[in-house]
Amino acid sequence: MPGTPEPTRRLFFALWPDAAVRQSLATVSKQHLHRVKRVPPANLHLTLAFPGSVTQPVQQCLEAGAGRMVAPPFDLLIDHAGYWPRPRITWIGPTRIPAGLWSLVTALRQVLEACGLVPESRPFQPHITLARKTNPGTGAVEFEPIHWSIGNFCLVESVTDPAGAKYFPLRFWKLEG
Ligand code: 2AM
């Protein structure tokens, strides 16, 4: 007889902007994107790895793995915009991906695999989604580059309610080295 399904939480690892960077990202979004479904400023982030819906033991495994990682801080320059037709999103991101970001993402992908999750087959494309359900022209965003010093990363819970997704950072880890 089937038992009660184990409860799960929808989780992802992300770079979570501080107040000043969040403000800059939100300003670009507000100044350039009109009559579209903008991501609320409080939700702006850069996804590093996406475990998706996981049980509590898997969450514990992910947190333990993240805690064992050693990765140095790095700087990001958010300097260009793009549009992806398939999910129909307009995003901004770094033209140059610093070595520190590659190593952070590689290490997190290894943590996910070690916790039994399916390996990510898609290449990592760092981006901050500014708006969804957009059209090609919406991607033509020119803006003053945003400097973002990355000193930590976090595990975030995504909760969907009728008003849309809400993201709650659960735990931060400092980058050192
Ligand atoms: P997006 O910014 O491109 O929409 C919470 O849903 C975060 O996880 C969002 O940043 C979203 O990316 C990302 N995400 C959602 N589904 C995903 C998937 N299947 N693979 C990778 N990232 C995903």
Parse the chain into domains and list their residue ranges: 9-174
pLDDT for residue 32 is more than 80: yes
Query: Ligand 1 centroid vs 47 CA: distance in angstroms?
Result: 7
Q: Which two tokens stand for residue 128?
A: 């901050």
Which one of 25, 38, 46, 50 would you pick to mutate in the ligand 1 pocket, going by the greatest count of ligand atoms within 8 A of its CB?
50
Prediction pTM value: 0.95
Higher pLDDT, 6 or 56: 56
- Note the pLDDT of residue 158: 98
Task: Tell me which residues have their CB closer than 6 angstroms to ligand 1.
Answer: 12, 47, 50, 89, 129, 158
Determine contact, residues 64/162, Cβ cutoff 8 Å: no
Query: Ligand 1 centroid vs 144 CA: distance in angstroms?
Result: 25
Residue nearest atom 22 of ligand 1, based on CA coordinates = 50
Amino acid identity of residue 64, one-letter, is: A
Phi then psi dihedrals of residue 82, to 5 deg: -150, 170
- What is residue 85's three-state secondary structure? coil
Average pLDDT of span 70-95: 95
Q: How many CB atoms lie within 10 A of CB 131?
A: 22
- Note the pLDDT of residue 30: 94
Query: Ligand 1 centroid vs 131 CA: distance in angstroms?
Result: 13
Question: What class does CATH assign to 9-174?
Answer: alpha beta
